[in-house]
A and B are shown apart, each in its own frame.
Chain A
Amino acid sequence: MEVIINKENAVTNVRLVGRLDTPASQEVSEQLEPIMANASGTIVLDCTEMSYISSSGLRIFLSLRKAAASQGGKIIVKNISDDIRQVFMMTGFLNLFEIE
Chain B
Amino acid sequence: MALNDNIKTVVKKSRGTGLLLVLVAAATLEATTLIQYVSSQRMLKREASQRAESELRATRNQIMDVVDQAEAAVHNSIWIARWCLDYPDSLVVVSRRIVEENPSVMGSTFALVPGYDKNHPLFSPYVCRSPEGDIEIKSLATEEYDYPSQEWFTEPLNYGIGYWSEPYVDTGGGNVLMTTYSVPVTDESGRIAAVLTADVSLDWLTDLVGSVRVYPNAFSVMISREGTIMVSPVEEFNMQRSIQDYAKGARDTANFNILAAAMLNGKSGNLVLGQRRRERTSVFYGPVEKTGWSMAIVIPDSEIYGEIRRMGVLVGILMLVGLSMLILILTATARSQLKYAEVNEKKERMEHELSIGHNIQMSMIPKTFPPFPERKDIDMAATIVPAKAVGGDLYDFFIREEKLYFCIGDVSGKGVPASLLMSVTRTLFRSVASHEKSPQRIVTLINDAMSDMNENDMFVTFFCGILDMATGHLRYCNAGHNPPLIFTDEVRMLPVLPNLPLGVMGGVHFPEQELDLACDNALFLYTDGVTEAENISHEQFGEDRMISVLRERRDSQGHLKAMEKAVADFVGDAEQSDDLTMLFIHYLNDMKPDATERHLILHNNIQQIPQLADFIETIANEMRLDQGLAMSLNLALEEAVTNVILYAYPAGSDGLVDIEAIMGKDILEFIISDSGVAFDPTAAPEADISLGVEDRPIGGLGIFLVRNIMDTVSYQRTDGKNILSMTKKL
Contacts and interface: CB of A to CB of B under 8 A. Distances in A.
Interface of A: 19, 21-23, 26, 52-56, 58-59, 62-63, 65-66, 69, 82-83, 86-87, 90-92, 96
A21 B690 contact: no
Contact of B635 (A54, A62, A92): A54
Contacts of A87: 632, 635, 705
A58 B606 contact: no
A59 B705 CA distance: 13
B635 A91 contact: no
Nearest to A96: B693
Contacts of B638: 21-22, 54
Given A87-B635, A92-B690, 6 more contacts: A21-B613, A22-B606, A52-B631, A59-B701, A62-B693, A91-B689
6 contacts: A23-B607, A52-B631, A55-B701, A87-B705, A90-B705, A92-B690
A20 to B, nearest CB: 11
Nearest to A87: B635
Interface in B594-617: 606-607, 609-610, 613
B564 interface: no
Given A23-B607, A86-B628, A86-B632, A69 B694 contact: yes
B693 A66 contact: yes
Chain A's interface: helix, strand, loop or mixed, by majority?
helix
Contacts of A22: 606, 609, 638, 642
Given A23-B610, A62-B698, A66-B693, A54 B642 contact: yes
A69 B642 CA distance: 29
Main secondary structure of the interface of B (DSSP, over half): helix
Nearest to A82: B628
A54 B639 contact: yes
A84 B690 CA distance: 19
Contacts of B699: 59
A55 B693 contact: no
Given A21-B613, A87-B635, A63 B642 contact: no
Nearest to A66: B693
Contacts of B698: 59, 62-63, 66
B696 interface: yes
B657 to A, nearest CB: 13
Contacts of A69: 693-694
Residue from the set A19, A23, A65, A82 with the largest chain B CB neighbour count within 10 Å: A23
B708 interface: yes
Q: Which of A56, A62, A87 has the most CB of B within 10 A?
A: A56
Contacts of B631: 52, 83
A55 B698 CA distance: 10
Residue from B607, B613, B635 with most neighbouring chain A CB atoms (10 Å): B635
A26 B635 CA distance: 16
B695 to A, nearest CB: 10
Interface string B682-722: 00000101111110101101101100110000000000000
Interface string B243-263: 000000000000000000000
A71 B693 CA distance: 13
Q: Which of A69, A86, A92 has most chain B Cβ within 10 Å?
A: A92
A40 to B, nearest CB: 16
Contacts of A56: 642
A33 to B, nearest CB: 15
Interface string B445-466: 0000000000000000000000
A19 B631 CA distance: 11
B634 interface: yes
A87 B696 CA distance: 16
Contact of A90 (B609, B610, B693, B708): B708
B609 A92 contact: no
A55 B696 contact: no
A21 to B, nearest CB: 5
B627 A83 contact: yes
A77 to B, nearest CB: 13
A19 B701 CA distance: 18
Interface string B625-641: 00110011011001100
A59 B218 CA distance: 157
B190 to A, nearest CB: 179
Contacts of A55: 635, 639, 642, 701-702, 704-705
Contact of A19 (B613, B628, B639, B702): B613
Given A22-B606, A55-B705, A83-B628, A62 B694 contact: no
A26 B609 CA distance: 12
A67 to B, nearest CB: 10
Most buried by A among B606, B642, B693, B708: B693
Given A22-B638, A22-B642, A92-B689, A58 B628 contact: no
Contact of B610 (A21, A26, A66, A82): A21
A56 B708 CA distance: 16
B693 A23 contact: no
Given A23-B606, A56-B642, A86-B632, A96 B696 contact: yes
B705 A21 contact: no
B716 to A, nearest CB: 23
Nearest to B608: A23
Nearest to B697: A62
A82 to B, nearest CB: 7
A62 B696 contact: yes
Interface string B111-124: 00000000000000
Contacts of B606: 22-23, 26
A86 B636 CA distance: 13
Contacts of A62: 693, 696, 698
A63 B696 CA distance: 10
A83 B632 CA distance: 8
A83 B691 CA distance: 23
Nearest to A97: B693
B591 to A, nearest CB: 27
Contacts of B696: 62, 66, 92, 96
A4 B691 CA distance: 31
Nearest to B705: A55
B664 to A, nearest CB: 24
A30 B627 CA distance: 30
Nearest to B612: A21
A91 B693 contact: no
